[in-house]
Copies of this chain bind each other. A is one copy, B any other.
């Protein structure tokens, strides 16, 4: 089954479905109706049915959806039935935090190596993975099979490091630096812009405060 032509909006919703189904599975729920799932996920039952119809429906009239089957199928669509080798560039707090997320490994994302320029971090062991020096990076990437490089380095360094990684064969980058990497279209980049996320919250807070102020002044 290919999933060509599925809208990006639907694809973006899949990880959330996957997360909810995983919880249902952990709680030994065998089947669920679109109505029950919609109540849990705060999404309309019709949206759920429409979304899942893109992938062959899965459900059966009167039965609902088999949780394990749906979980597995969505997992395949998300590529989670495959294994991915990940390297982390930047062994500061954020890099170490990501290295310690055991959740990733459960889903097939194995952190194979961590790199840094700081000599004091070299040799530090994070969940059994030793921090290596940046000058070992090129050889490592060319020799080993690396699917995803995670950038947890300063924004001044990230674009150049990303370019190098791509020139050595990396096809996918998970970027935490607050800068656009400007890589060729075929390189898959997922940006996590933490400051932008926080700014959305400040916008919401400010709107809330302004509404309160307007109410007080009787506007």
Contact = CB atoms under 8 A, between A and B. Distances in A.
Interface in A38-94: 42, 77-80, 82, 84, 92-94
Q: How many copies does the complex hold?
A: 2
B84 A172 contact: no
A103 B193 CA distance: 12
A198 B202 contact: no
Contacts of A42: 180
A2 B210 contact: yes
Majority secondary structure, A binding face: helix
A178 B97 contact: no
B103 A195 contact: yes
Contacts of A186: 208
Contacts of A103: 178, 195
A199 B97 contact: no
A205 B171 contact: yes
Nearest to A147: B205
